[in-house]
Amino acid sequence: MIDLSNLSPAPGSTHSRKRVGRGTSSGNGKTAGRGQKGQKSRAGGAPRVGFEGGQMPLSRRLPKRGFKNIFAKNYAVVNVSDLSIFDGSNPVDFVALKAAGLIRGRVDGVKILGNGDISVKLNVIVDAVSASAREKIEKAGGSIEVCGG
């Protein structure tokens, strides 16, 4: 039986630490594999990430355009026509939509859009809904509950 007391890595998957600066016969003595002189041989002497030797870095050479709203909500979009796979016995919420495969990846909420038609009476609980989607769901006898958004 496997438990925490007898766990071990697979054979050959771990390697012993490279011990540098331990004499000439070790193969990594004296300069410890850093070569002779220069910036990279010194302690703390590697240039920072993105440094191009004084040349204007690529991140500063490229033009900047637009604005990125870091507070924007990433909604998963579900159309009214996609809701017809549900039978109406249970409420249609984030968990049900995820289980049905209509939502994938990380999202901040769910928005129902009005593309298509629906004939099933559903109780839908989502974060946002378009006016046309609300009209179609209520016309079919269902209800919309908006939480959050």
d(CA 75, CA 85): 21
pLDDT tens for residues 71-129? 999 999 999 999 999 998 899 999 999 999 999 999 999 999 999 999 999 999 999 99
Model pLDDT, residue 121: 92
State residue 137's pLDDT score.
93
pLDDT of residue 61: 95
Distance CA 49, CA 144 (A): 51
Q: What is the pLDDT of residue 45?
A: 86
| Domains (range + CATH), the chain | 75-146 (3.100.10.10)
Q: What is the pLDDT of residue 149?
A: 58
Angle at 33 between CA 27 and CA 38, to 5 degrees: 145
| Each residue's pLDDT tens digit, 53-75 | 999 999 999 999 999 999 999 99
146 pLDDT band, cuts 50/70/90, is: very high
Strand, helix or coil for residue 112: strand
> How large is the C-alpha radius of gyration of the chain?
30
Buried b (16+ CB within 10 A) or exposed e, 94-115: bebbeeeebbeeebebbbbbbe
Q: What span, in angstroms and rounded, lies between the C-alpha atoms of 139 and 6?
A: 62
Instruction: Compute the distance between CA of residue 124 and CA of residue 114 in angstroms, rounded to an integer.
Output: 13
CB 123 within 8 A of CB 92: yes
Check residue 105 and give its pLDDT: 92
Q: What is the pLDDT of residues 1-50, one digit of tens each?
A: 889 999 999 999 999 999 999 999 999 999 999 999 999 999 998 899 99
Where would I find the beta strands (DSSP E) of 9-86? 75-79
Distance CA 120, CA 16 (A): 64
- For strands 143-146 and 109-113, give the pairing: unpaired
